[in-house]
Structure 1
Amino acid sequence: MRIDHGTKTGHQLHALILTAGASSESPYANNNLISMYVRCSSLEQARKLFDKMPERNVVSYNALYSAYSRNPDYASYAFSLINQMASESLKPNSSTFTSLVQVCTVLEDVLMGSLLHSQIIKLGFSGNVVVQTSVLGMYSSCGDLESARRIFECVNDGDAFTYSMVLNACSKLGSYSYSVGKLIHARMIVSDILTDLPVENALLDMYCSCGDMKEAFYMFGKIHNPNLVSWNSIISGCSENGFGEQVILMYRRLHRMSTPRPDEYTYSAAISATAEPERFVYGKLLHGQVTKLGYERSVFVGTTLLSMYFKNGEAESAQKVFGVITERDVVLWTEMIVGVLGTCSDMAMLRQGEVFHSLAIKTGLDSVMSVCGALVDMYGKNGKYETAESIFSLASNLDLKCWNSMLGAYSQHGMVEKALSFF
């Protein structure tokens, strides 16, 4: 769900949904509203809605646990929910424990973390590598290195594959597990563990995912014979962390080599870094190369090419790229159309957006909720309120994106009263 106008719009959206009867007694719609408030950084409103829910499920609790685990000012509130969750006969899952352990990390509450650790063992989640990694991170961050060592020994049987699993879990947890990843790396160095390429790639990916590109470059330089996984990790890491110039340099290095040869994921990551005007010329050159290799038809490469061209105002080039993509299942087409329409609305490129609206109608995807929301958003941002209202009115089973897009269109132009009367 896309939140463009902050907490005020979130409140208005919630009120409109309640007025229109779009909410229900089931927890699913309310869970989406909680997620919306969390994304608007309105944790108090999220909690108020949570408390008023006639029925809650594990997802409801996990949404708040996760939000509290990311905010030191609210982290302690998570503990008050644990007994309530138990009283409602809801069983925690791995996501529950991962977030709660992260709360303990934020608060540096090793006692509560130890109690949670006991429950993790009792309920059989100690074998989950993501949960184990979060526990390891908690003990490490709280200074209980002896407990951290014992946890690590439980998951480490001396097999390099285990190191890869734990490091991959660190990559998924991101910044929360950065200290754990560093600890594992240090342990490998001190213990003189013989690392193989998969472990080196796991370390590289961990540093890239945690945003430490200095260490990532160091790791990449130490890999004796990097394979395509190594190259894709470092190129993607540079692209995702804003090192656009390094993306171009790394790609050039790879391109000069006879092996490994870049694949569609390599090109997708490289093209993602060329959307900025100062690097747009490189994007065009990459487009020429992917066309020769046939990767232009790939949805991964095609999506990044579309974004690059639209961000640089070359709508006709974007349309040509769109026309040659061959992977046309409903999910991928929907993602493509939503992405393109989103770019059209952000750049006020109404004419091109209308072309893709026509395409959505021809392919029957205009009735898909995510496409509907993107169309309403595009026309609303371009001042075409009647068209936006028409699309909104014809949609069935409206989801929160459609409601939010329609309300956002009015709110952006100071038409909140009309929004209230319309809905």
Structure 2
Amino acid sequence: MDNVNGAKPHFVLVPLMAQGHMIPMVDMARLLASRGATVSFVTTPVNAARIKPVIDDASRAGLPIRFVEFKLPCKEAGVPEGCESFDLLPSVDFYRPFFEAICMLREPLKLFLQETTPRASCMITDYCHWWTSEVAQELNIVRLVFHGPSCFFILSSRNIHHSKVYESVADEHESVVVPGLPQRIEITRAQAPGWFSRWEDIRQKAMEAERTATGFVMNTFQELESEHVALYIESTKKMVLPIGPLSLYNKDTKSKATRGNKSSIEEHQILSWLDSMEPRSVLLVSFGSMVRTRPLQLIEVGCALEASGRPFVWVVKEVEKCAEVEKWMSEGFEERTRARSLIITGWAPQMVILSHGAVGGFVTHCGWNSILEAISPGVPMITWPHFADQFLNEKLVVEVLRIGVAVGIKVPVFRPEEDKVEVERGAIESAIVSDGRRGGRR
């Protein structure tokens, strides 16, 4: 792994400040360092505090990783202080200013690269960080783009954009066939291509920056997406490195439990509860870090879980567990399901749960990290996408890989301000029962 001059390579990783992007790049940093490379991981104080157990473990293990903290200029960009990750923003109205704050890290990053030793051999930067392209070119540093979502999503989005297939439809809810795929996949404009659909200027900058990259690093693996990886290579004419699932770097329970953030429950409590359950009987319900489920919908989920009769682990965020939800839970739900339920408020150690033999199903928002964490131990999924890459990920899980069933959601939910029900308890229960008939096959 030496350079031609005998020096160890020095990778500089610049992740997007969002849990779904940070988590796999932390794993990548540890993977590269364990193979002998020097790694500089660019982060901010709040994000560094979240991954402190990982930082401490890397230090104890003697891994050559430097966690470089840059102050995010929140105030200058109009973002509330301390909101240094997308999931910490109080509203989607702050997403655009947050991107602007991130772009202001250009000069600090350039200064670091100019002064750091050994000199950076390669930068691996998130697709969203278009501004790192200019820095890499100015300093003559090789740059690889990191794609956090599935190759299926990246390829589909690229094909949709270049074919301009949406120009033929007048309604955002009218389906079109995604061009250039081995399978017939239909999607609506509302469902895809996703995150940047509101900010075309950022999309254009990201795509232009992509063209200047040497190649791509993807958190997927050849056996899972071989056709899509081959088509992406053919389309981009660039090197594509599928190096995932990066989550598998975490081998022991402790590293699984601290992946992403400090768990709000001790892992031994979870393991003890799961050990008491029958093999492949438990259903995990968890919707990632950014989804905010409103009270009426939470109650529908709870009613479906109760009616299904299955043991379950239900992860509810602190911001979701309002007085209305707590009142409903305390008025009989918790007592009636106590013998077969574990309700976790806050951050849950998802890998610890999914890798346990008692778990036989997973109700997921279709974030790519969550999908990979379920695929690795062979846990089938009930898919409930919300936005961004999640609807195309659902297509991959349900229609291509056939390892999940859809709960039936059709319209993205970006602003769940209204307290309404998107999916009724009957549909949720039906999907749970259908998943149960699949038997949690491994």
Normalised by the length of structure 2, the TM-score is 0.28
More strand by share: 2
More helix by share: 1
Normalised by the length of structure 1, the TM-score is 0.29
Computing the radius of gyration from Cα coordinates, the structure with the larger value is 1
Query: Relative CO higher for 1 or 2, CA cutoff 8 Å, sep ≥ 6?
Result: 2
